[in-house]
Structure formats: structure tokens, C-alpha cells
Amino acid sequence: MIDTNSSEDPHLLPLPVGEEGEYRALDSLSPGERRTRSASEGSSPLLQRSTAPSKLPWFSGFPLYLAPMAGVSDKIFRQLCKEHGADVLTTEFVSAEGIFRRNERTREYLDFDPRERPLGVQLFGGNAEHMAEAARQVVDWVQPDFIDLNFGCPVNKVVAKNGGSALLRDCPTLSSVAGAVVRAVAPLPVTAKIRIGWDADSINAARVAGILVEQGITAITVHGRTRAQGYSGSADWDVIGEVAAAVPVPVIGNGDLAGPLDVAKRRDETGISGAMIGRAAMSSPWIFQQTKHYLATGEIIPPPDGREKWNLILRHCRMAVEDWGMEDQAIRSMRARLMAYSKGFPGSKQLREKFQHVSTLDEVTAIAREHLETTAILPELSTVSSLQC
């Protein structure tokens, strides 16, 4: 329990001599001053990036992560992104309480295919004992490559239960949760995802990252918005860069990465060790291939043509039907996904209106055929038959 009468900051854990001053100094400076100081004080172990090999072998390069997104990054979408170049995948976030209480529906979120590896299971919760036990059960059930801790979700129903970004305001609990999970699943790596702070007046990402490293976290993803921002406004990559300079573990940057040029710019400016792509992948799973090619060659490869995009969409629908076993429910569940895919298509507004009412695979196929014909993406009706329906 936090002593609200204490004159000390209840969100700042005691750190070893010398370290607390470094974190306090970083948090009290302006973004520009913090980056300048981080660059100039290479002698501090907290401000010097480690050259030691990571416990996560994919950091031998610059890995591209698919962001865990509730209702989006299920095993089907993860597999499609993997095929299109994603290096590291994470499940949709899973309630530790649901696992702790052996809720069968919660356990369904843990299902994945071996083709998805390396894959982590992301857990959220605010009870250290329950989080540790949930992590142990996850490791026993599905043997993931790592456990990821969600300290960034801004959704009210998660925050209200002291989960997600709520712990950015309660560093003692955040520390105890992280430490308990690390000890529970050792030697399996444990990573974490955070935001830059609770709101604009409490930007504490560097401090939080240091606490997580103290507890044995092996990599940290930083989303460049505060909890108060939700998904509005712009991501603050200056703060992400400060975290990358402040801790000796890989930092993955996340926020407003819409294409290969964004990823390359942020990598060069901040020194991040990897990038996590979320919303852009919802409409363009091929963004991972494009980004990898650009980082390797400096060349932008064009996106798939209309026919290729539609074949991907129809394949996604077929896989959903196979997984659900009930076509109408599967296609209804795909409506929001289909609307996301329509971004960038000619006549996307009309497509979204049609997608709101689909309930069969034949209906989606008919929309695809009509769209290809009317937008003249393919010259002849006979060519449209090449759709893999």
C-alpha cells in the first residue's frame, strides 16, 4: 500500500547509490536536454547501451514485431504477417486472472501454430502472485519463446483493475509484478511494453525502464504516447530515444510507423534495436516485407496489386471460416477486419458500406469480383477468375 502522507515520490522505487540521481535528472530535463545528456555521459552504466549479446537471439539484426492488438492479432492474422516478413509475434493480451482461474475462453487466446515462432504470450494484471502463477501455467501449456508484460494498455476496463498503463503510476507494484514473473519462468526471457507515461505531466519512461531492467526484463517496447493520449495525437519519439539511450537492453520503438521510411527514420534518429508495427499492418500486412527490403537496399518495393490484395483478403476469410467452423459467425467477425483492409482501395467508402453486411464467403467473393471489374484493376472479366476463391 502506498503511503499518501509520505513526502517521498510514491512512484519512485529506491535504486542503488548513484542510479536514482541519474533517473531523476533525466526525468526533470527537457527532451532535448535529456538526449544531449544521455549522449555525453557514456560512462554511466544506465546511460550506455550494452554490447553484450541479448538473451533474445532475433536482436542479432533489426527485428520487426507485429504489435499485439486485441481483436486483431489472432493466430490467423499473425500467420499472414509472418508470411509477409514479420520477425517476432505476440499474442493478443491475455488476462492473468483468467489464466489463474483457468478460464477456458482465456486459454483459447494462447493457441498458436509453430510456424509463428518466435512468439511471446502477453499478460496483463496487477497482482504479482497471480501474474507469476499465470506465467508459469502459460509456459507449461504452450511453451512460448518469451513472456511479455503489458504495462501500456490505456483502456479503462484494464486500467480500472490496476492493469496495463495503470502501473505507470504505481512503480512499486510494477516492479513487484515484473520481478515475480521473471523469477517464476526463469530462464525463459521476459519482456515488457510500456507507454512514455501516464500523462504529459508525468513522463517517466526512462525511470520505468530502469526499474524493469533491475528486475530482469530483457527487452522493452515503448509506445510513444501517454495513457491520457490513448491513440490520439502524435507519438513522442524523443522520449523513445531517451529510453534506448538509458537502458542496457534492446528497446523496440512503437507508434506512428506507417511505412518503411518511418521505420528507417526512427531507427536512425533514436538508436532503437527493433520496431513494432500495429495499425499500419491491419490494412497492409505486407508492410514488413516492404520495410525489410528498404532497410536492406534503400529501395521501396511496390505493394501487391489489386488482385493479390483481394486474394489475401479472401484467404484470410477462408482461414477464419475453417477456424470457427461456422461460416456466418466467422465472416461476421471479419467485418471490422475487412473494413481495415479497404484502406487505400479505390472506392473504399463503398466497400466499407458493403462489408458491414456480409455474412458468407460468397458475398465477400462477389464484392471482390465486382470491385476488380468496376475499378478496371484487371482488364477482362475472364482474368478475374484468377481470384483464389
CA dihedral of residues 318, 320, 324, 326 (deg, nearest 10): -50
Cα(66)–Cα(81) distance, integer angstroms: 7
Q: Does the active-site annotation cover 153?
A: yes
Which residue is it, cell 530502469?
210
- The answer to whether the peptide bond before residue 379 is cis (omega within 30 degrees of 0) is no
The percent of the chain in helix, strand and coil, each rounded to the nearest 5, is 50, 10, 40
CB 90 within 8 A of CB 122: yes
DSSP-derived secondary structure letter, 146: E
With CA atoms as reference, report the closest residue to 200 among 233, 155, 244.
233
Q: What is the pLDDT of residue 12?
A: 31
Per-residue pLDDT of the chain (389 residues; tens, 9 = 90+): 333 333 333 333 333 333 333 333 344 444 444 444 444 433 233 333 444 456 899 999 999 999 999 999 999 999 999 999 999 999 999 999 888 777 777 778 899 999 999 999 999 999 999 999 999 999 999 999 999 999 998 988 899 888 898 999 999 999 999 999 999 999 999 999 999 999 999 999 999 999 999 999 999 999 999 999 999 999 999 999 999 999 999 999 999 999 999 999 999 999 999 999 999 999 999 999 999 999 999 999 999 999 999 999 999 999 999 999 999 999 999 999 999 999 989 999 999 999 999 999 999 999 999 999 988 644 443 334 455 54
Which residue is it, cell 544521455?
38
For 287-332, the DSSP string reads HHHHHHHHHHHS-PPPPP-HHHHHHHHHHHHHHHHHHHS-HHHHHH
Give CA separation, 377 vs 105, 113, 308, 343, in Å.
42, 35, 11, 16
With CA atoms as reference, report the closest residue to 212 among 8, 42, 15, 6.
15
Catalytic hit among 153, 171, 317, 389? 153
